[in-house]
Every structure is written in structure tokens, then in C-alpha cells.
């Protein structure tokens, strides 16, 4: 059988086969070459450097910068607002339970306490007066000298 190299079909098939076969052959040759080179390298002894040990004292020294942070810390927050007059501790000091830490300007709180005391006294007086008015209205109602409405108002005021 004679192959016609001038035909387009024959040339196309030849190029396709070359594209498929050449990389396969190249890969096989490469694998074989790597295997031969590895076998040669494995058969030769390895070169190892040898050194005699030296005996000496070693004191490693390191200089670094860092930041120290306490393992336990507490944020101190006032339960009331006001102007800080005095601070009774330094940052980093140990403090004990019940120790005085700050003094806040007391005038505002003294005034608020006096105002609250006056309000309590006023309300106490109003309450006592409403009790007296109620008892008086109850006695007058028994003698039919006041209306039932007047008595009910004094009863309501008492509560």
C-alpha cells in the first residue's frame, strides 16, 4: 500500500497524530531521564559536613520594649455626678474595701437632702392635717351636721 503524501486528508491525519503522539513520547522520555538521574544520585554517597562541638557557657540576653498590664483591674465610677474635689489614691495603688476614694463637692447633695427632708416634713404635716379633718368630719356626720359629700371628700383626702 502506497501513501499519498500530497493529499490534504493524509497531511491532516499526520498532523493530528503528531500532535497526540509527540507529547506522549516527550513525557515518557522525560520520566525515563529523571528516573536515570535519580538512580545515579541515590547510588552515590551523600556529602555531610562534620564539626567538632565546642564547650562554653551560654547566657542569652534579650532587650525588648514592652508594656506591663495588671492581671486584675477595676474601673472606678462614681454613682453620683458632681465636681471632684479630692482624690485619695494614686493609679496602681492597692485599695481596701470601704476605703474613701474620692470626695465630690457636697453642696449640691446637701441642698438636695435638705429639700427632700422639707418635702417629707410638709407631706407629714399634710397627712396629719387630713387625719384630723377626717376624724372631725366623721364626728360631724354622726350628728348630721355635714353632708355625706363633705365626709367623703375628707375620707379621700386622708388616703
Q: Render each residue's pLDDT in the chain as its tens digit; 159 residues.
A: 677 767 888 888 888 988 889 889 999 999 999 888 888 878 888 788 888 988 888 888 888 898 888 787 777 777 777 888 898 888 888 888 889 888 888 888 888 889 999 999 999 999 999 999 999 999 988 988 888 898 888 888 887
CA atoms within a 13 Å half-sphere pointing along the CA-CB vector of 148: 0
Q: Is pTM beyond 0.95 here? A: no
* Exposed/middle/buried for residue 150 (C-beta within 10 Å: 0-12, 13-18, 19+): middle
Amino acid at each position: 500500500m502506497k501513501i499519498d503524501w500530497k493529499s490534504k486528508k493524509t497531511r491532516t491525519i499526520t498532523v493530528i497524530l503528531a500532535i497526540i503522539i509527540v507529547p506522549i513520547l516527550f513525557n515518557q522520555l522525560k520520566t525515563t531521564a529523571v528516573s536515570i538521574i535519580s538512580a545515579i544520585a541515590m547510588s552515590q554517597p551523600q556529602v555531610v559536613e562534620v564539626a567538632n562541638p565546642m564547650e562554653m557557657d551560654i547566657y542569652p540576653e534579650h532587650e525588648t520594649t514592652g508594656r506591663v498590664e495588671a492581671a486584675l483591674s477595676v474601673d472606678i465610677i462614681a454613682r453620683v455626678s458632681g465636681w471632684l474635689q479630692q482624690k485619695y489614691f494614686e493609679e496602681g495603688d492597692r485599695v481596701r474595701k470601704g476605703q474613701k476614694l474620692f470626695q465630690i463637692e457636697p453642696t449640691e447633695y446637701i441642698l438636695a437632702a435638705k429639700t427632700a427632708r422639707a418635702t417629707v416634713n410638709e407631706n407629714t404635716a399634710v397627712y396629719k392635717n387630713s387625719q384630723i379633718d377626717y376624724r372631725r368630719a366623721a364626728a360631724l356626720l354622726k350628728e348630721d351636721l355635714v353632708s355625706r359629700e363633705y365626709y367623703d371628700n375628707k375620707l379621700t383626702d386622708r388616703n
